[in-house]
A and B are shown apart, each in its own frame.
Chain A
Amino acid sequence: MRPLPGSVGVFRLAGPPLQVRASGIFDYMNGAGELYLGYRFELLEAAEFEAVGQPRILVERYLMGSSDDAFGVLSTDWGGEPVDLTGSSRAPGWPPRALYGAGLLRLRSGPIFARVMADRETAAARAAVLDLGRAIVGGGGTDAPPAVIGALPATLARDLALQRDRSVFFRSHLILNSVYFLSHANILALGTEAAAVAAQYRRPAAGSPAVHVIVIHYPAAETAAAARHSFAEAYLGVGTLAAAGSGGVAAARVEDGWVGLGIAGEFLALAFGCGDESEARSAVAQAVAALAPPEVRRE
Chain B
Amino acid sequence: MVSSAGAAVGASLAGARAASAAGRPARTARVVLVRDEKSLGDDLAVDTEVLRRMVEQAVVRLTGEQTPQRAWLSLFRPGDVIGLVPTPHLNPTHDEVVDVVRGSLAAAGIAPDAIRMANGGPAKAEACTALIAMPALKAHWLTGIGTVLKCYIMYSGKPRDYHVEDSANLGRIWNLPHVKGKTRLVLVDALRPLCDKGPQPDPRYLWPYRGIIAGIDPVAVEAVGLRIIEAKRTALNGGPWPLSPPPICVQAADEVYGLGTSRWDEITLERIGWDKDLLLA
Q: Does A189 contact B (CB under 8 A)?
A: no
Q: Is the CB of B204 within 8 A of A174?
A: no
If over half of A's interface residues share one DSSP class (helix, strand or loop), that class is named, otherwise mixed; here it is: mixed
Contact flags A213-244 to B (C-beta < 8 A → 1, else 0): 00000000000000000000011110000000
Question: In this assembly, does A21 line the interface, its C-beta being within 8 Å of a C-beta of chain B?
Answer: no
Closest A residue to B1 by beta carbon equals A253
- Which A residues are within 8 Å of any B CB, using their own CB? 26, 29-32, 34-35, 77, 79-80, 101-104, 117-121, 174, 177-185, 234-237, 252-256, 259, 272
Indicate which residue in A121, A234, A237 contacts B203 across the interface (CB closer than 8 Å): A121
Sorted from nearest, which 5 A-B pairs have the closest CB atoms? A184-B165, A102-B203, A254-B4, A183-B8, A32-B200
B204 with A178: CB separation less than 8 A: no
Q: Given A29-B90, A32-B90, A178–B165 Cβ distance below 8 Å?
A: no
Evaluate contact between A256 and B199: CB separation under 8 angstroms. no
From A26, A35, A104, B204 is in contact (CB under 8 Å) with: A104
* Shortest Cβ distance from B206 into A: residue: A102
A89 CB to closest chain B CB, in angstroms? 27
Assuming the contacts A26-B160, A80-B204, A184-B12, asked whether A31 and B4 have C-beta atoms less than 8 A apart, the reply is no
Q: Which of B29-37, B139-147, B174-182, B263-271 contacts A (4 or more CB under 8 A)?
A: B139-147
Task: Report the minimal beta-carbon distance from B185 to chain A, rounded to whole angstroms.
Answer: 24
Does B3 make an interface contact (CB < 8 A)?
Answer: yes
Give the chain A neighbours of B109 by CB distance below 8 A.
Answer: none
Q: Across the interface, which residues of A come within 8 angstroms of B1, CB to CB? A: 253-255
Question: In the complex, are the beta carbons of A182 and B8 less than 8 A apart?
Answer: yes
Q: Is the CB of B244 within 8 A of A179?
A: yes
User: What is the distance, in angstroms, from A209's C-beta to the closest C-beta of chain B?
Assistant: 12
B residues within 8 Å of A by Cβ? 1-8, 11-12, 43-44, 89-90, 140-143, 146, 159-160, 163-165, 167-168, 197-204, 244-246, 248
Whether the pair B199, A181 counts as a contact (CB closer than 8 A) is no
In the assembled complex, the Cα of A119 lies from the Cα of B197 at a distance in Å of 16
B31: shortest Cβ distance to chain A, in Å? 26
B8 in contact with A180 (CB, 8 Å) = no
Chain B residue nearest in CB terms to A115 = B200
A178 and B141 contact, Cβ closer than 8 Å, known pairs A30-B90, A121-B203: yes
In-complex Cβ contact of A174 among B3, B164, B248 (8 A): B164
- Cβ-defined contact, B6 with A31, below 8 A: no
- CB nearest to B246 among chain A residues: A181
Question: Complex: how many Å from CA A179 to CA B201?
Answer: 18
- B200 with A29: CB separation less than 8 A: yes
Central interface residue in A29, A181, A185, by most chain B CB within 10 Å = A181
- Least Cβ distance of B98 to chain A in Å? 19
A255 touches B3 (CB 8 A): yes
| Assembled-state Cα–Cα distance A241/B109 (Å) | 69
Asked if A104 and B2 make an inter-chain contact with CB atoms under 8 angstroms apart, the answer reads no
A29 and B160 contacting across the interface, CB-CB below 8 Å: no
A120 to chain B: which residues have CB within 8 Å? 43-44, 203
Instruction: List the A residue with the shortest CB-CB distance to B166.
Output: A184
A30-B159, A31-B140 as given contacts; A181 in contact with B203, CB under 8 Å: no
Q: Is the CB of B199 within 8 A of A29?
A: yes
